[in-house]
Amino acid sequence: MMRKIPLTGVAVSHTLSLIVAGGFCMGNSVTVQAEEKKTTARPAKSYTRPPFGMYSSQMVDGLRGGGKYEKPVWNLHDMLKLPEWLSASVEQRTRYETMDGSFRANSRGGDQQIAFLTDVWLEAKLGKFRIGTEFRDSRELGSDTGSPITNSQVDTADFTQAYIAWADKNIFYSGIGAEVIAGRQTLNFGSRRLVARTVFRNTDNSFTGGRLHLTDYVNWQFNAFVTMPVTRYPTAASNLLNDVHQFDEEDTHTMFSGGFLELYNLAWNINSEFYLYHLDESDSARNLTRNRRYFTPGARFYIKPAKSKFDFQLESIGQIGTKRASTAATDSRNLQHLAWMQHFDVGYTFDMPWKPHLGLVYDYASGDHNPTDGKDQQFDSLYGVTVFDFGPTGIYNSFKRSNINSPGYRIKVAPRKDVQATLTHRAYWLAESKDSWGSSGLRDTTGRSGDFVGHQTEFKVRYDFNSSLNFETGWTHLFKGEFAKKAPSAPNSQDTDYFYVQSLFRF
| 218/224 Cα distance (integer angstroms) | 19
Instruction: Judge whether 93 lies within some domain.
Output: yes
DSSP 8-state symbol, 194 = S
- The 10 Å Cβ neighbour count of residue 267 is 5
| 490/507 Cα distance (integer angstroms) | 45
Instruction: Judge whether 24 lies within some domain.
Output: no
Instruction: Judge whether 277 lies within some domain.
Output: yes
pLDDT score for 401: 97
Average pLDDT of 294-321? 97
The candidate with the shortest Cα–Cα distance to 203, out of 171, 235, 238, is: 235
Query: 6 pLDDT exceeds 70?
Result: no
Lowest mean pLDDT among 19-23, 35-39, 180-184: 19-23
Average pLDDT of 31-48? 43
Lowest mean pLDDT among 27-31, 213-217, 393-397: 27-31
Lowest mean pLDDT among 11-20, 380-389, 424-433: 11-20
Task: Assign 65 a pLDDT band (cuts: 50, 70, 90).
Answer: confident
Query: 11 pLDDT exceeds 90?
Result: no
Instruction: Judge whether 11 lies within some domain.
Output: no
pLDDT score for 285: 87
Instruction: Judge whether 6 lies within some domain.
Output: no
Taking only the tens place, the pLDDT of each residue in 244-278 is: 999 999 999 999 999 999 999 999 999 999 999 99
- In our burial notation (b when 16+ CB lie closer than 10 A, e otherwise), range 389-410 reads bbbbbbbbbbbbbbbbbbebeb
Looking at the 3D structure of the chain, how many domains does it have? 1
Average pLDDT of 27-44? 41
Instruction: Judge whether 460 lies within some domain.
Output: yes
Give the Å distances, CA to CA, from 248 to 115, 119, 178, 225.
20, 16, 30, 21
What range does the domain containing 217 cover?
Answer: 29-506
Task: Assign 148 a pLDDT band (cuts: 50, 70, 90).
Answer: confident
Task: Assign 48 a pLDDT band (cuts: 50, 70, 90).
Answer: low
Average pLDDT, the chain: 90
Instruction: Judge whether 367 lies within some domain.
Output: yes
Query: 125 pLDDT exceeds 80?
Result: yes
CA-angle at 359, arms to 275 and 190, nearest 5°? 20
pLDDT score for 18: 29
pLDDT score for 22: 36
Instruction: Judge whether 385 lies within some domain.
Output: yes
Average pLDDT of 112-122? 97
Task: Assign 38 a pLDDT band (cuts: 50, 70, 90).
Answer: very low
Task: Assign 380 a pLDDT band (cuts: 50, 70, 90).
Answer: very high
The reported pTM is 0.89
* % the chain with pLDDT above 70: 90
Question: For the purposes of burial, counting CB atoms within 10 Å of the CB of 329, is it exposed (0-12), middle (13-18) or buried (19 or more)?
Answer: exposed
The domain that holds 169 is classified in CATH as 2.40.160.100
